């Protein structure tokens, strides 16, 4: 074993030097094997501890996993899922992190610590940590500041446990609601995804945890919405719809990591695409961080995409494309890649390029500091509360703000008013199941299904339990009616009898999240159409036939078609609102909470006829005389009702013309005309009347969540730069084009009472990489 020059050690541990200088000093001292080791990862216990599949084809790849000490003998880049493999307490997890880091640093020549990563989509994915609402629920809040607060809390919990990197957020833009991972997204509009995703990234990064943007790119647009299926998308649509959230999170959020997509676009897997991972990401956007592979996507280049003949050749393709670290275990970036480099088939400069990035990030994280120790990398103290009152308060605020009142045509809501006691039948498979409120990457659904002795690991009420506390003067009857997805109708008679004997029936239907077919929503849980799972739709029909007013509550990870249930007295949508979801839903039903959630995805009317999103050109909308299928949704993007009412007027533009490099202010007055305090989501949409390519009929360009007391008013002022009108033209450049532009402001894409036009003037202009990505908004009291 070579002896390290103490001068070199001084340089790479010298905190007075820049992270890049320290990385270069260390890189110069490493052997080829040691450099490639920094590009790998190890999942300790994968072959013996992990139960169930938390990643695709996990069992197959686990069989070839190397013993830990062998895997780290030259060092290692990442430690995989120390907390998320099997249940460990916070204290056990910290001890395990410290112990593994000791083995990493003691087992190799230079003693370089590893980066520890973990999932954090609905909170730190570990036993006993707060389970926040799903990303789709964050999107329904239209509240970036609240999402950033949540991310800060998640980062603080992870950092206290010695975790350096979180594998979130998901920035995939929904293209087909049948895809199982819709619940993990922030909806179907790229601007909304960009705004909320960037807020999440800032929350993690400002607290010192590396945020990982995924899945780059195109994953959500797979053919027929099947997980990992090919993506039938051209380069213009990719740049127009899919890439903007990633660009915003890189440029405005300062994200330090990106994870590639499993997808192939036009026959080219993302993990082997240098145009995507290097040219777009680094050369165009200036990304300087580390690209990590999605789990086993490197060997997938051989086994699934079949563009490589061996794991080592798969590794060579991925390395050349721009993947710096292979997760979750080392297969393509192992001894076979070393041999390819030594044989001259892979340039060592590619290894150096990736290793330099990894080492620089380790320097930024303090892992190369002279006083770093395994024990010091985790918080001191006897215990850590990963679900403290402050976290639960954020979870409650998110849950309450995310719930969407779709309809209340019969005026049956809120239930808090009126004479008591009332007879309330609570029916449905999601009525008494708090895990229905949790996403597929929540710890209770992600891991604890194989460990029933731990229950859920956190306190969470079902809606049934929460309603008793919320409406103590009423009498309740509970009937399940049917399972979530099994075709078992044996519970129908009891459910119908309960509803018929009640003054009102609350029907709670929807999903149970899981992975790879073990649920009705989640990764690998795709569906052929948008009917409610199992026989839940039939159950709703029988309940509506009783004549009792039925309040339909859908708790789901995707929007389901609700056409045919218009007889419902009221409809509510909750997108898996987390551990505080029961109380939040009960609060909306009672009226304690005035609903202000808005749809980040549309609610279809038909289960199979229209899985498209609102971003449609004219021929994508209802085309009478062209097609007999009407794709008009039941509830459009941005829709959501309230227990108060709002009025819009006095739309004012600062000018009638907008130079193609200029700025325009768009302001509108919004009034709360009802008797209750509330919050309105004011939405700005644009329509380019004529362009060189077809344009959406409406596209979100700005929004603001505006709290308004009863009787109060506010002026909402948007500052619209001409860059925000840019589109990707025929030559694949983003351009600002002169011409007429419609400006719409209102409460949803289908309810826009204020309209004006402005003319873009001047020369056609290319909006480059420094273009304005955001529409600032100011709310002024009236």
Q: Measure the CA angle with vertex 244, ends 243 and 246; round to 5°.
A: 70
Kindly indicate the confidence band of residue 576, based on its pLDDT and cuts at 50, 70 and 90.
very high
Q: Does the structure show a pLDDT above 60 at 4?
A: no
Reported in sequence order, the residue ranges of 524-676 that DSSP labels E, i.e. its strands, are 550-555, 570-574, 646-653, 657-659, 663-672
Kindly indicate the confidence band of residue 770, based on its pLDDT and cuts at 50, 70 and 90.
very high
Distance of CA 285 to the CA centre of its chain: 21
- The residue ranking higher by pLDDT, 55 or 450, is 450
Kindly indicate the confidence band of residue 54, based on its pLDDT and cuts at 50, 70 and 90.
low
Per-residue pLDDT of 752-764, as tens digits, reads 999 999 999 999 9
Cβ atoms 580, 399 nearer than 8 A: yes
Residue with tokens 């370089």: 112
Residue 52's pLDDT is what? 58
Q: Does the structure show a pLDDT above 80 at 380?
A: no
Residue with tokens 């009705």: 520
From CA 79, how far away is CA 72, in angstroms rounded? 10
Kindly indicate the confidence band of residue 546, based on its pLDDT and cuts at 50, 70 and 90.
very high
Beta strand 257-260 pairing with 290-292: parallel
Residue 382's pLDDT is what? 60
From CA 67, how far away is CA 661, in angstroms rounded? 59
Residue 7's pLDDT is what? 46
Contacts of 766 (CB under 8 A, 6+ apart): 733, 734, 735, 736
Per-residue pLDDT of 58-81, as tens digits, reads 666 666 678 899 999 999 999 999
Of 135-149, 215-229, 370-384, 563-577, the poorest mean pLDDT is in: 370-384
Per-residue pLDDT of 662-684, as tens digits, reads 999 999 999 999 999 999 999 99
Q: Does the structure show a pLDDT above 60 at 50?
A: no
Mean pLDDT of the chain: 94
- The residue ranking higher by pLDDT, 266 or 629, is 266
From CA 57, how far away is CA 331, in angstroms rounded? 14
Q: Measure the CA angle with vertex 248, ends 242 and 252; round to 5°.
A: 170
Residue 1's pLDDT is what? 36
Q: What is the DSSP code (8-state) at residue 268?
A: E
Active site residues: 228, 294
What does 418-452 look like in DSSP terms, one character per residue?
A: S-S--EEEEESTTTT-GGGGS-TTSHHHHTGGG-G
Contacts 24+ apart (CB under 8 A), 92-97: 93/126, 93/161, 94/161, 94/162, 94/378, 94/379, 94/384, 97/161, 97/162, 97/163, 97/374, 97/377, 97/378
Q: Mean pLDDT over residues 216-240, rounded?
A: 94
Per-residue pLDDT of 582-600, as tens digits, reads 999 999 999 999 999 999 9
Q: Does the structure show a pLDDT above 60 at 694?
A: yes
Distance of CA 302 to the CA centre of its chain: 28
Residue 3's pLDDT is what? 42
Q: Mean pLDDT over residues 723-729, rounded?
A: 97
Q: Mean pLDDT over residues 718-727, rounded?
A: 97
Kindly indicate the confidence band of residue 628, based on its pLDDT and cuts at 50, 70 and 90.
confident
Q: Does the structure show a pLDDT above 60 at 6?
A: no
Residue 683's pLDDT is what? 98
* CA-based nearest residue to 507, from 567, 435, 449: 567
Looking at the chain, the whole-number percentage of residues with pLDDT higher than 70 is 96
Cβ atoms 211, 205 nearer than 8 A: yes
């Amino acid at each position: 074993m070579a002896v390290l020059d103490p001068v070199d050690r001084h340089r790479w541990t010298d905190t007075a030097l820049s992270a890049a200088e320290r990385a270069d000093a260390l890189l110069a001292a490493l052997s080829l094997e040691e450099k490639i080791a920094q590009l790998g990862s190890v999942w300790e216990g994968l072959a013996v501890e992990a139960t169930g599949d938390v990643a695709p084809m996990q069992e197959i790849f686990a069989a070839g996993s190397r013993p830990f000490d062998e895997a780290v003998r030259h060092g290692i880049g990442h430690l995989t899922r120390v907390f998320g493999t099997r249940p460990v307490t916070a204290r056990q997890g910290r001890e395990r992190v410290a112990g593994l880091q000791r083995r990493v640093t003691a087992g190799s020549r230079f003693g370089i610590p590893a980066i520890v990563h973990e999932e954090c989509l609905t909170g730190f994915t570990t036993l006993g940590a707060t389970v926040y609402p799903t990303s789709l629920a964050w999107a329904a809040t239209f509240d970036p500041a609240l999402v950033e607060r949540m991310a800060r809390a998640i980062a603080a919990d992870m950092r206290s446990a010695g975790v350096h990197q979180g594998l979130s957020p998901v920035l995939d833009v929904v293209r087909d609601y049948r895809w199982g991972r819709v619940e993990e997204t922030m909806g179907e509009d790229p601007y909304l995804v960009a705004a909320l995703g960037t807020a999440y990234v800032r929350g993690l990064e400002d607290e010192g945890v590396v945020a990982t943007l995924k899945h780059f790119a195109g994953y959500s647009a797979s053919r027929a919405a099947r997980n990992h299926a090919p993506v039938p998308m051209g380069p213009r649509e990719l740049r127009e719809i899919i890439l903007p959230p990633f660009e915003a999170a890189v440029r405005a959020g300062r994200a330090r990591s990106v994870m590639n997509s499993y997808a192939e676009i036009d026959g080219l897997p993302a993990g082997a695409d240098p145009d995507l991972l290097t040219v777009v990401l680094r050369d165009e956007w200036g990304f300087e961080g580390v690209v990590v592979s999605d789990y086993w996507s490197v060997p997938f280049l051989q086994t699934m995409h079949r563009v490589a003949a061996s794991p080592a050749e798969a590794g060579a393709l991925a390395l050349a494309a721009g993947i710096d670290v292979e997760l979750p275990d080392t297969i393509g970036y192992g001894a076979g890649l070393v041999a390819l480099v030594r044989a001259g088939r892979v340039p060592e400069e590619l290894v150096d390029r990736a290793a330099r990035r990894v080492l620089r990030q380790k320097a930024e994280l303090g892992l190369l500091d002279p006083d770093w120790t395994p024990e010091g990398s985790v918080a001191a103290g006897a215990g850590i509360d990963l679900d403290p009152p402050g976290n639960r308060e954020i979870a409650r605020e998110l849950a309450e703000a995310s719930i969407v009142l779709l309809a209340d045509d019969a005026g049956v809501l809120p239930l808090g008013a009126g004479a008591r006691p009332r007879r309330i039948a609570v029916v449905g498979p999601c009525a008494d199941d708090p895990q229905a409120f949790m996403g597929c990457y929540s710890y209770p659904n992600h891991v604890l299904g194989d460990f029933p002795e731990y229950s859920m690991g956190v306190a969470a009420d079902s809606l049934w339990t929460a309603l008793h506390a919320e409406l103590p003067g009423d009498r309740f009857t509970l009937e399940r009616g049917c399972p979530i997805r099994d075709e078992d109708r044996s519970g129908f008679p009891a459910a119908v009898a309960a509803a018929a004997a009640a003054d009102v029936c609350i029907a709670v239907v929807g999903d149970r999240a899981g992975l790879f077919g073990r649920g009705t929503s989640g990764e690998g849980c795709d569906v052929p159409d948008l009917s409610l799972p199992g026989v839940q739709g039939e159950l709703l029909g029988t309940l509506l036939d009783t004549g009792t007013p039925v309040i339909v509550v859908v708790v789901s990870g995707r929007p389901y078609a609700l056409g045919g249930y218009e007889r419902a007295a009221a409809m509510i949508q909750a997108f898996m609102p987390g551990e505080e979801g029961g109380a939040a839903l009960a609060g909306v039903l009672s009226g304690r909470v005035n609903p202000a959630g808005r749809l980040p995805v549309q609610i279809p009317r038909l289960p199979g006829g229209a899985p498209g999103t609102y971003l449609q050109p004219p021929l994508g909308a209802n085309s009478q005389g062209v097609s007999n299928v009407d794709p008009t949704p039941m509830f459009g993007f941005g829709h959501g009702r309230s227990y108060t009412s709002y009025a819009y007027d006095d739309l004012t533009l600062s000018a009638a013309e907008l130079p193609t490099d200029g700025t325009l202010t768009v302001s509108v007055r919004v009034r709360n005309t009802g008797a209750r305090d509330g919050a309105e989501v004011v939405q700005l949409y644009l329509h380019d009347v004529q362009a060189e390519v077809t344009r959406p009929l409406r596209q979100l360009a700005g929004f603001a969540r505006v709290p308004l007391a009863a009787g109060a008013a506010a002026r909402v002022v948007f500052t619209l730069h001409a860059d925000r009108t840019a589109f990707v033209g025929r030559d694949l450049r983003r351009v600002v084009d002169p011409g007429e532009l419609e400006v719409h402001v209102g409460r949803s894409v289908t309810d826009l009472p204020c309209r004006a036009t402005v003319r873009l003037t001047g020369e056609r202009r290319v909006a480059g990489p420094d273009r304005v990505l955001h529409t600032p908004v100011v709310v002024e009291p009236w």
